[in-house]
Amino acid sequence: MFSKNWLARFARPAKTISVVSISTVCLSVVGLGAPSGGAFAQDEPGGGGDAFELDPIVVEAPNQAPAPRPSANGSRRSSAPASIPVATPVDAAGPVKPTGETGLQPDSLNLNSEAESGSRLGLTPFETPASIDIISNETMVERGQKTVHEAVTQDAPGITWLGAPGNGGGSYSARGFDGVNSVMNLYDGTRFYVGSGTLTYPFDTWSAERIEVLHGPASVLYGEGAIGGIINVVPKKPTFERINRGEISFSDQGEKRAAWDSGGAISDKVAYRLNIAGTDTDGWLDQNGDFKNLMIAGSILYEVNPDLKITLSNDYGYQEPLRYFGTPLVDGRILSGTRFNNYNVNDSVVEFRDNWTQLKAEWTPTENLTFRNTAYYVTSDRHWRNAESYLYQPVSNDVFRDVYIEILHEQEQIGNRFDASLKHNLMGMKNEVLVGFDVNHVDFKHINNSPYGGSSTVDLYNPAPGRFLRVDPTTPGFKSKLNQASVFAENHLHLTDTVSLLAGLRYDAPDVEKIDLRNPTNSFGKSFDTVSWRVGAVWNPFENTALYAQYSTGTDPVTSLLTMSVAYDDFELSTGRQIEAGIKQRFWNDRAELTLAGYRIEKDNLLTTDPFNPALTVQVGEQSSKGVEAALSVKVTDTIQADGNLALLHAQYDNFTQSSGGTVVSYAGNTPRNVPEQVANLWLSWAFAPKWTARGGLQYVGSVYSDYANQNERPSYTVVNAILDYRVTEKSVLSLRGFNLFDEVYAQTGNTDMWRLGQPRTFELTYNIGF
């Protein structure tokens, strides 16, 4: 239960507040003790005055006398952030950056950079009473993070990836909650409704200006499906500054990749941006290990006048991911002779095509009034044809394959989001208010070969792939239509020069219609409605220090709204609530940035088994989590930079039963599946000589359970990456990268019978050049 006195801790005046004392406060708020299992190391705040003024936009570029025209980033406020300095000499090796494009800093928490994901009012993380991470493009380039899941899990606290080709790469675990129905994926602030637990775009980081991660419930901003948090990929925007940048790379696993980024002025009112990236590889598996992808993102900006900007963009993604679903366990472990085997069939298929078109307009008729509108149209076509389940048979020492599954998705979404914001004085206090609405329509068609018949047996060490067994025909299964409408509002009130309040409210009304094409009696319609809200406070007791606390609510669907069955038509949305408190701070003469947060989340209306009828599913379960998250970025010396984060949590089912062998079993007190309770990342960089920089990264993920009973545990793992950069010329860098340097054998995801393994040790040579 939440303490009624949680805010009183921050109401007492104090002459000095140390990082240690604030850490103690956050820990005591959530009541979190030391993690179980022993040691971790195992296998200008708002200024004064009544006038509401914006800082001028100033973008500086080296070797240029006048300041260039500012980038058109689609934001109404783009003041230059006061981030910590880059921790390397001018001639040290590093990413080739477009000059003055975003104002974001690599190797920094970017606390004073505007974030889109924590509020629609253009607040910075320092001003927002919530945990927000900003991962810059430069950081992703430095660390060789080509995919969204690599960047998010290696750079943001407490996020882990549930990697599998089946879910398209968009499934994560955060703060004790997992899956695409609890951790929402956004592209440029827009959500794409998920069908069958699958999200396939965006996947490549090359076109991303930054990735923002908001931890905890975010339904007040984005609607149902975000109790664990959101991941927002913000694409690069058109710019009037000329940009040309390219990269090629080759790895010892046969991977070949090329990427290009171009932008600039077409005329004095029109600018463009074009990003292309593609990968082709033979892969690390002995058979059927190849994969490839292509991403094309283009946008055009038209500045009608200084007050009106219109941007048209189109993003296309094509993927043929690795067609690998896992390796069978033998006595609960992976045998060395099976690590590089793929037990899928020869004619397997995993293929995704996504297209995303947006038209955005921003009009600022006065200094304090802004209107924004985003209209969008998204399509996604997906195809799977695989043998996806592998079970080791000890008597015959071979592998039984079944679940010969073929599925196709045809999905399209059209929608519009509008908001208006006003800055004004309210009874002598500065105030910002925003109101808006969001509407969209989704058509979804599901085609499959259910009940997925077919089976075969292959050798454990030398599996003959064979071909797909088509026992059941692949035919249309059902169609779904989703109509969603919502209204939302936010308010940011400056009570004093050092205290501000942020509040938000949202009403959602999704309406679902499902048409069963095989059994029309299973067709149904369902209407939902839900209200989400939050209220938080930020106090700046000192310059560059922010203490905050927030209470927020959220909702999750019990399953995907597009694919829910008639058995769930009487169920309501799952509801949740979170209390969070923490500190954000810049210190040591601006050489360091720190964030520390403590939280507790409760979620109810889970699906569980009726204790009196195990064949019947009911909605009464409860789940909770509490934990702490910390991130630190330090410029140790002029040549050494350290960045790290740590997440410790305790998650459990509070009320949850399932039928096991005909008996109802309670799993109350057990840890939810796929939820690690310790996650840590560390990055170090050292510019040890002119033109040379060495970087090292460590990722630790604690053990997780594959079952409700907590009997099957996937072990913790530690992955180490290393990078050596050499600046060949002023605008080009040659990098040698080693991923999983110590060749750790680890499972990214899995179940009680098989694990999907991460990539083995891989070396890569990359050349990055700018013009």
Q: In the Cβ-directed half-sphere of 32, how many Cα atoms lie within 13 Å?
A: 29
pLDDT for position 97: 54
Residue 621: which region, alpha, beta or left (left: phi > 0; alpha: psi -120 to 50)? Answer: beta
pLDDT value of residue 96:
57
Task: Determine which of 82-91, 211-220, 513-522 has the lowest per-residue pLDDT on average.
Answer: 82-91
Domains and CATH numbers, the chain: 235-770 (2.40.170.20)
Contacts of 94 (CB under 8 A, 6+ apart): 86, 88, 106, 138, 142, 693, 725, 727, 733
Query: Hey, which residues does 435 pair with through a beta bridge?
Result: 420, 489
- The amino acid that residue 476 corresponds to is P
What confidence category does residue 566 fall into, taking pLDDT thresholds of 50, 70 and 90?
Answer: confident
Q: Is the pLDDT of residue 5 over 90?
A: no
Residue 716 and residue 27: Cα distance in Å, rounded? 24
Q: Identify the pLDDT of residue 103.
A: 66
Q: Residue 306 contacts by C-beta under 8 Å, 6 or more apart in sequence?
A: none
Three-state SS at 20: helix
243-298 pLDDT per residue, tens: 999 999 999 999 999 999 999 999 999 999 999 999 999 999 999 999 999 999 99
Confidence of residue 52 (pLDDT cuts 50, 70, 90): very low
pLDDT score recorded for residue 576:
94
676 has pLDDT over 80: yes
The pLDDT, as a whole number, for residue 422 is 98
Report residue 512 as tokens: 């679902």
What backbone torsions phi and psi does residue 41 show, to the nearest 5 degrees?
A: -80, 30
Report the alpha-carbon distance of residue 23 to residue 29 in Å, rounded.
Answer: 10
Q: What is the mean pLDDT of the chain?
A: 87
Q: Is the pLDDT of residue 545 over 80?
A: yes
Q: What is the mean pLDDT of residues 466-485?
A: 95
Residue type, 274: L
The stretch 61-76 carries a mean pLDDT of 39
Q: Average the pLDDT over 378-382 and give the result.
A: 96
Tell me what pLDDT residue 510 has.
Answer: 94
The band of 8, judged by pLDDT with boundaries at 50, 70 and 90, is very low
Of 104-113, 217-226, 654-663, the poorest mean pLDDT is in: 654-663
Question: Between the CA of residue 451 and those of 99, 397, 405, what are the distances in Å?
Answer: 56, 27, 8
Which pLDDT belongs to residue 18? 40
- Write the single-letter amino acid at 278: G
d(CA 443, CA 708): 34
Among 275, 288, 24, which residue's Cα sits nearest to residue 146?
Answer: 275
- Are 118 and 214 contacting, i.e. CB atoms less than 8 angstroms apart? yes
| Assigned token pair, 434 | 């925003």
Instruction: Decide if pLDDT at 673 tops 70.
Output: yes
Band of the pLDDT at 563, cuts 50, 70, 90? confident
Integer Cα distance of 242 and 310 in angstroms: 20
Closest to 222 in 3D by CA, of 212, 235, 208: 212
Q: Which residue type occupies 504? A: G
Q: Which band of pLDDT confidence, cut at 50, 70 and 90, is reported for residue 488? A: very high
> Coil, strand or helix: which one is 142?
helix
Q: What digits encode the pLDDT tens for the residues 628-668?
A: 999 999 999 999 999 999 999 999 999 888 777 677 888 99
Q: Is the pLDDT of residue 374 over 60?
A: yes
pLDDT of residue 185: 92
Q: What is the per-residue pLDDT for 94?
A: 61
Q: Which residue has the higher pLDDT, 557 or 79?
A: 557
Cis before residue 202, ω within 30 degrees of 0? Answer: yes
d(CA 545, CA 133): 17
Q: Which amino acid is at 348?
A: S
Per-residue confidence at 166, pLDDT binned at 50, 70, 90? Answer: low
φ, ψ of residue 288 in degrees (nearest 5):
50, 45
> Looking at residues 577-591, what average pLDDT do you find?
96
DSSP string of 42-60, one letter each residue: ----S--SS---PPPP---
Longest dimension (CA), the chain: 81
